[in-house]
Chains A and B, each alone.
Chain A
């Protein structure tokens, strides 16, 4: 009798607590449909926007920009898997991006491997790099591990400078490697569809992993590693798994990127500090610890600066300092300011804000869902940093 009550409560509650799921899925499916339809629009050379002020022309150039953004979205999802879920913040995720890209590019350029063969090798080597970085995660916690990830790309860069004859130093490999399946600028739609298919596939894989039992253990590690160990789960195993999975996918994104017409194997594109920071911003901006949010943030960070760069609008003269300047001249500055603003008003990320906005708009009033200070995992980064503080203070159980 009593068991019936308990199970009964479970089903009743779970029906009630996921009223937004279908809506979320519909929105997601619509978004993917729009992405899939873009090449058709490009064929028609459609323009969106206000004529005379800003017109976004969906053309082949735009498709190639979006391709790059999709790979960056994949990269952001890979960061989110390890940092957003297990709380092991990686400050040097470009390392995996670069290992995948350089491996594939070097095999292609130096040994004539077809990208279809060299890319998997890049993925494997990136996964190996994930093990190498992940193993310190067995002993180091929180901020200490993050320091390791901060240093690792610096070591890689100096290795590349030391052997400039192979790696091309800071300037990277020139000329770039072959295009994937030979699709060049002329076949922008195909380049784009390859990226989109892979993007959807990786998102599905990561959603499956993070929604499985392993995902629950990941977030539990983020909350309290000792509590995880105290219920008979080996935190080290799950952390290494997250690192290797993340590294392999980051390596795949890098390797695919480098074989697009837009991508090149250079330091500034793959593992510079800017890249390392941008991927964090992308995931946090989109919604850390959600995968989908990281994907959205990745596309945003990958695309918006390029759109701003192509924007032929002058800032009105009454604006101090910047009056009269063309937007494209200070595109990255504007992008950074927009990002800062969004981070400030949407600390939980774009995805959560959209979902909650939708729920509120439809009149679902689940009090605990709306309260941001009720201990909900709204601000993953707050929780992670909170754990860091505890770890730096020392073990509290004695």
Chain B
């Protein structure tokens, strides 16, 4: 069900619920709302008038094959790219094109698909950085309070035994956990997790899924991006499927699983 590009860009507060039929969203349709988001790189349209809404405390799956525009959408929403067009609302406020650090301080954290640990410091120090105030003259770190908090966060994601390891010594799953701990340290209300299951063994997928579910129980809203359908569909409440930069389908895991268009597009009809 592809969208029609030039529908109304604004919608009143009485706009209907997020369904594939209504392709125009307003600021109050969810905790995070993107309306007609568009990103071009030169002549290439990576994201084409894409709209979606994230509801509070849900786990939303953001699915699409490689190159579908998942990460680009992600980067536009989190302020790492400036969108070419469209609007992003976060908690009812327009945040389109705001720099990433402001988005994080507003409560929208992210992890990176290609993990970006700071290789020069230990796991706990990686997390401690996220607890540093965005202020030039801050000495809170010298008192040791942030380190304790960082250690607690490491423990929360299952890195209790690796506090003083360097990121390079961690296994793949450990690096993912580190990304999560660092994002959690910013005290987010919404967490965007980019490709958590890529390169993970089946048992690890299960453990990370459990962790994500627990975080949701604690009040967090999560958006999980992945192309690994199998791991993802059992985790999420709802999914948005993106292909060639625009929305292909949206719905519950069952609806997505049974959607012929989704199957045809890139699941090879096998789910």
Which residues of A pack against B, CB within 8 Å?
Answer: 2-3, 5-7, 9-10, 13, 17, 211-214, 216-217, 219-220, 222-224, 226-235, 237-238, 241, 368, 374-377, 383, 396-398
Q: Which of A2, A368, A375, A398 has the most CB of B within 10 A?
A: A398
- CB interface residues, B 159-187, toward A, < 8 Å: 160, 163-164, 166-169, 182-183, 185-186
Please state if A230 and B100 are interface contacts (CB–CB under 8 Å): yes
Please state if A212 and B138 are interface contacts (CB–CB under 8 Å): yes
Please state if B163 and A9 are interface contacts (CB–CB under 8 Å): yes
Please state if A217 and B132 are interface contacts (CB–CB under 8 Å): yes
The stretch from B117-125, B210-218, B229-237, B249-257 touching chain A is B117-125
Give a binary string over B98-122; 1 marks a CB under 8 Å from any A CB, 0 the rest.
Answer: 0111101100011011101111110
Question: Once bound together, how far apart are the Cα atoms of A3 and B80, in whole Å?
Answer: 34
Please state if B75 and A397 are interface contacts (CB–CB under 8 Å): yes
Please state if B132 and A223 are interface contacts (CB–CB under 8 Å): no
18 chain-A/chain-B pairs, Cβ below 8 angstroms = A6-B151, A9-B151, A10-B124, A10-B148, A212-B138, A219-B120, A220-B118, A220-B129, A227-B112, A227-B118, A230-B182, A230-B183, A231-B101, A233-B101, A233-B132, A237-B136, A396-B114, A398-B72
Question: Once bound together, how far apart are the Cα atoms of A220 and B167, in whole Å?
Answer: 14
Count A/B pairs, Cβ under 8 Å: 145
Please state if A229 and B138 are interface contacts (CB–CB under 8 Å): no
B71 contacts A by Cβ under 8 Å = yes
Smallest CB separation, A379 vs chain B (Å):
11
The stretch from B25-33, B49-57, B139-147, B199-207 touching chain A is B139-147
Which of B80, B114, B135, B185 is within 8 Å of A229, CB to CB? B80
With A6-B148, A229-B100, A231-B182 already in contact, the answer to whether A13 and B142 are too (CB < 8 A) is no
- Residues of B near A377 (CB, < 8 A) are 120
Question: Once bound together, how far apart are the Cα atoms of A2 and B129, in whole Å?
Answer: 22
Please state if A10 and B151 are interface contacts (CB–CB under 8 Å): yes
- Residues of B near A212 (CB, < 8 A) are 137-139, 141-142
Smallest CB separation, A86 vs chain B (Å):
13
B155 contacts A by Cβ under 8 Å = yes
Smallest CB separation, B185 vs chain A (Å):
7
- Residues of B near A231 (CB, < 8 A) are 101, 104, 109, 129-130, 132, 182-183, 185-186
With A6-B155, A230-B100, A375-B119 already in contact, the answer to whether A214 and B183 are too (CB < 8 A) is no
- Residues of B near A213 (CB, < 8 A) are 132-133, 135, 138-142
The closest CB in chain B to the CB of A238 belongs to B136
The 3 A-B residue pairs with the shortest CB-CB distance, nearest first, are A232-B104, A231-B130, A6-B151
Please state if B104 and A397 are interface contacts (CB–CB under 8 Å): no
B134 contacts A by Cβ under 8 Å = yes
The closest CB in chain B to the CB of A368 belongs to B166
- Residues of A near B169 (CB, < 8 A) are 375
With A230-B112, A230-B183, A233-B134 already in contact, the answer to whether A3 and B104 are too (CB < 8 A) is no
B152 contacts A by Cβ under 8 Å = yes
Q: Which of B133, B136, B137, B166 has the most CB of A within 10 A?
A: B136
Smallest CB separation, A21 vs chain B (Å):
14
- Residues of A near B138 (CB, < 8 A) are 212-214
Question: Once bound together, how far apart are the Cα atoms of A375 and B168, in whole Å?
Answer: 7
B154 contacts A by Cβ under 8 Å = yes
Question: Once bound together, how far apart are the Cα atoms of A226 and B116, in whole Å?
Answer: 8
Question: Once bound together, how far apart are the Cα atoms of A6 and B167, in whole Å?
Answer: 18
Please state if A2 and B155 are interface contacts (CB–CB under 8 Å): yes
Smallest CB separation, B182 vs chain A (Å):
6
Question: Once bound together, how far apart are the Cα atoms of A217 and B168, in whole Å?
Answer: 20
Question: Once bound together, how far apart are the Cα atoms of A167 and B163, in whole Å?
Answer: 57
Give a binary string over B66-95; 1 marks a CB under 8 Å from any A CB, 0 the rest.
Answer: 000001100100101000000000000000
Question: Once bound together, how far apart are the Cα atoms of A368 and B168, in whole Å?
Answer: 12
Please state if B166 and A232 are interface contacts (CB–CB under 8 Å): no
Question: Once bound together, how far apart are the Cα atoms of A371 and B34, in whole Å?
Answer: 48
Question: Once bound together, how far apart are the Cα atoms of A216 and B126, in whole Å?
Answer: 10
- Residues of B near A368 (CB, < 8 A) are 166
With A6-B154, A9-B151, A397-B75 already in contact, the answer to whether A234 and B166 are too (CB < 8 A) is no
Q: Which of A232, A233, A235, A376 has the most CB of B within 10 A?
A: A232
- Residues of A near B163 (CB, < 8 A) are 6, 9-10, 13
Smallest CB separation, A75 vs chain B (Å):
23
